Amino acid sequence: MALSTLRLQILIPVLFALTMAGCESVGYYGQAIHGQLSILNQRQPIDQMLAEPGISEELKVKLKQVLRIRQFAQNRLFLPVNGNFLNYVELQRPNVLWNVFAAPEFSLTPKTWCFPIIGCTAYRGYFSEEKARSYAEKLKSAGMDVYIGGVSAFSTLGWFDDPILSTVIDRPEAELASLIFHELAHQILYVDNDTTFNESFATAVAQEGVRRWALDMPDRNFIYEKYLTARHRREMFAGLVMKYRDQLNQLYCREMAADDMRHQKIKIIAAMRGEYKHLKQEWDGFTGYDRWVQAPINNAKLNTVSTYHEQVPAFLNLLRRSNGDLKKFYETCQRLAEKPKVERLRQLQGQSLSN
């Protein structure tokens, strides 16, 4: 707690000094500081909650799962747990954050925002949905494709001890483990201005972590099979999105009048929706992605899928080349992270081709 307080004392003046350039910046960082402080102030130690008679047995079961998963992450995955996930926060909202994503109408290159400490990212986060939508409207009025995505958990990259949130606590145990492993992986590796690299690495660590975690579970076959089914659907859906994202990318490279390109863009997105209907037939009535597909689709929204999945096969191949040695894998990835972005991408693409 003392370390978190010290970091907060350092962080707030730094953010304040850096935001004096404009009122919009002051407002943005102000809501970020207020949102983070609110979470820190609501933290309840899990060990104390487990001893309280007023806490429901259902919640206690989930909190015990968090502690077991956390211990596994430290002992078997060599992830830096530190003081993370020792506290619980009950939020009175469906998401902890709302991220705003944007891209030009005829480009899949995401708009990026640069921040103190964490560097540049392909999204801008708000603790208020209303503020996120207000900012998104400004981007739309400037002609950008915009998408707002609700976020159920996030990592402060070691600046604070992250709690487990009510927005994720009810997930199935394997999905909860995946989320915890993913967020802890960000503390091993985080590269400025390369969101896809960061998220793909964390996703790969989470996938391998859940595989190893399931082997220790008494009913591992049932739990892991359910997790693999969900993951397989997620990967199939991501593959579908990236297929049509590539088609759009090829379209945007052509010389064409804006109205004609806009018409072709609509046709490609319609074709993706059509193929999704066929894909669902393999899922025994699963409808988990229906809302995503039926809602408006644009470049910004398509980018959110590729961000988390595009480089995952390359990272998993790197793990195989490390003979499953996670420490060696982390060291390899850290060396890769030190390279210029173009070289880093080239080497990762080489890993994907060698799969």
Query: How do residues 139-154 score in pLDDT, each as one tens digit?
Result: 999 999 999 999 999 8
53 domain residue, yes or no: yes
Residue 251 has pLDDT above 70, yes or no: yes
Residue span of the structural domain in which 294 resides? 221-353
Q: What is the pLDDT of residues 299-337, one digit of tens each?
A: 999 999 877 788 999 999 999 999 999 999 999 999 999
91 domain residue, yes or no: yes
Task: Report the number of distinct structural domains present in the chain.
Answer: 2
User: In this structure, what token pair is assigned to residue 76?
Assistant: 């078997």
145 with 78, same domain? yes
250 with 125, same domain? no
19 with 91, same domain? yes
Q: For residues 85-103, give the mean pLDDT.
A: 96
pTM of the model: 0.84
- The four Cα atoms 239, 244, 248, 250 give a dihedral, to 10 degrees, of 70
196 domain residue, yes or no: no
User: Which residue(s) pair with 100 in the sheet?
Assistant: 124, 148
Place of tokens 């990835």: 333
8 domain residue, yes or no: yes
211 domain residue, yes or no: no
Beta strand 44-45 pairing with 113-115? unpaired
Q: Who wins on pLDDT, 116 or 69?
A: 69
16 with 139, same domain? yes
131 with 236, same domain? no
Identity (one letter) of the amino acid at 189?
L
Helices (H), 146-252: 173-185, 195-215, 220-252
User: In this structure, what token pair is assigned to residue 107?
Assistant: 């480009």
Strand (E) or helix (H) holding 351: helix 341-353
Q: What is the pLDDT of residue 117?
A: 64
Mean pLDDT of the chain: 89
Cα distance between residue 354 and residue 288, in whole Å? 32
